[in-house]
Chains A and B, each alone.
Chain A
Amino acid sequence: MLEVAALSHFYGKHQALADVALGIEQGEIVAILGANGAGKSTLLKSIAGLVRPAAGARIRFEGQSIAELPAHLIVERGIALVPEGRGVFGDLTVAENLQLGAYPARARAGEADRLAKILQLFPRLAERLPQAVRTMSGGEQQMVAIGRALMSNPLLLLLDEPSLGLSPLLSREVFRALTQIRGSGLSVLLVEQNARASLDIADRVYLIESGRNAGTGLASAMKNDPEIQRAYLGKARGASTPT
């Protein structure tokens, strides 16, 4: 459903992405692994239209080019980004954030049903609808961010570091929600520092190093690849034997 090819991006003279390619099929969870500064966030922002890719990039979604579209029209096509740092409206309430999630025309039909489902997915939010989001914990704000993205009735969800700064408990809750979301046929493209958790829920993985593709494969195979364990699962090497 999403095909990216020859995607490059420059911040001034610094090349953040160089000819990156990737693809996602419907219903897949795809994880992108790479060191800090490898260009993972820039990749997601390019797909969402927040940064302009260099000329020649091909980004096709559902068979149509979206490389030139402004961000607000890309949401309208069915791609929702949950940015790093969440990007929620801190001064607005939970209810207002979720209502704004359904701002795109594609999200208006079935809005009430979707809201009910999201509140089921994150029961904490149901208790806090009138609360200003900035007064909530990081984990709760992340739930608002994911919930708001889901309100836009997306076909593809882009998640940038959803567990960053969260306690292990809340991280688990967020990942549990992601596996539940997958059940509804939605595709997910995930950038995550917690490589182990992403390998656990992803179908396929792309490796990005210094802005370039550095490999791809099935998550199940990658999990047991000693090279991957050493490079991305860090010190957990010895402890990674299945129990």
Chain B
Amino acid sequence: MLLVDIVLPGLVLGGMYALIALGLTLQYGVARIMNLSYGESLVAAAFGAFSLYSGLGLSPLAALLLAVPVAMVVNWLLYRFLLERLMRRSKDRGAQEIDSILVTFGVLFVIQGAMLVAFGGQYYSYSYLSIPLTIMGSTLAVNRLVALLFAALVGGAVYLALTRTRIGTAVRAIAVDANAARLVGIDVAALSGLAFAFGGGLVAVGGVLVSMFLTFNAAMGVIFTMKALVVVIMGGVGNVMGALVAGLLLGVVETAVARLVDPGLTLAATYALFLGVLLIRPTGLFGRAAS
């Protein structure tokens, strides 16, 4: 059935987008770091899962237990010892944004260079749970379903943590107004570091899950950075629900265009959707009206 053929893989792809956009929301919306090396972290996690699977026979799902804590620690260190100092030095929001872009642009090349040295430029993939499964007349590999399931679990848990706990509400409060957050006793620097680390953890989850069913190489991080950025802006910067909805929407639209029109047009569809949303709602689907 054509509809299921589009919706199911669309949701798998969209689930990945939603997950990595959630991570970027934490890094950009809360910690105010426009992280250009975001996609490289994702590809690094994919290579990590690949190495553990092909070298040690460790399942990618088990690799999550290693990749996520490592990514969180690395991201926290990056924030604490490099980015936070830079943020404190910059005079205003605009200068902060430019500084963070310049620094993470450098980090991008460091990560990418390290991956090129270790793995070269060729494409990688591995076969894990690539068992075809037929659902309502549509065939899908089990690994994609597992990836969707994990993305839903992780994304749902993060969503609940951000909306239902006091510390999660505090994290969102920083995204809304960092100065006001200080007035209610929130240690903005410490909590921003934590949000940045969690964002790094989420992108590592995304990388491991994506590696189960996509081919990847050391140079393709920028695609994920752009997609995550498109989704975050489309959903409304700093808005958790917006990132989730826009991610799923983008996944389904891209799959529909690839299936119904031409696979070469997916990127064009991405930006057409992006432009369309921004023309109608300049602050994003769930963004607040400009004040």
Contact = CB atoms under 8 A, between A and B. Distances in A.
Contacts of B176: 89-92
A48 B181 CA distance: 13
A104 B184 contact: yes
Interface residues of B, number: 21
Contact of A104 (B177, B185, B188, B238): B185
Contacts of A103: 166, 170, 184-186
Interface residues of A, number: 30
Interface string B180-192: 1111111110000
Interface of A: 48-50, 70-73, 75-76, 80-81, 83, 87-92, 96, 99-104, 107, 134, 148-149, 152
B179 A92 contact: no
B185 A83 contact: no
B288 interface: yes
Central interface residue in B173, B188, B291, by most chain A CB within 10 Å: B173
A80 B181 CA distance: 12
Contacts of A49: 182
B32 interface: no
A76 B186 CA distance: 10
Interface string B152-188: 0000000000000010011011001101111111111
B169 A92 contact: yes
Given A72-B186, A101-B184, A92 B172 contact: yes
A50 B182 contact: yes
A107 B239 CA distance: 27
Contact of B288 (A70, A81, A91, A104): A91
B149 to A, nearest CB: 30
A76 B177 contact: no
A152 B169 contact: no
B182 to A, nearest CB: 4
Contacts of A96: 169, 172-173
Central interface residue in B176, B180, B182, B184, by most chain A CB within 10 Å: B184
Query: Closest 7 CB pairs between A and B?
Result: A104-B185, A75-B185, A87-B180, A71-B182, A89-B176, A91-B176, A72-B185
25 contacts: A49-B182, A50-B179, A50-B183, A72-B186, A72-B187, A75-B184, A75-B185, A76-B185, A81-B183, A87-B179, A89-B181, A90-B176, A90-B288, A91-B238, A96-B169, A100-B170, A100-B173, A100-B181, A102-B166, A103-B184, A103-B186, A104-B184, A134-B288, A134-B291, A152-B185
A75 B166 CA distance: 17
A75 B183 contact: yes
Given A72-B186, A80-B183, A88-B180, 5 more contacts: A50-B183, A71-B182, A81-B183, A91-B288, A92-B172
Central interface residue in B169, B179, B186, by most chain A CB within 10 Å: B169
Contacts of B182: 49-50, 70-72
Nearest to B289: A134
Contacts of A99: 166, 169
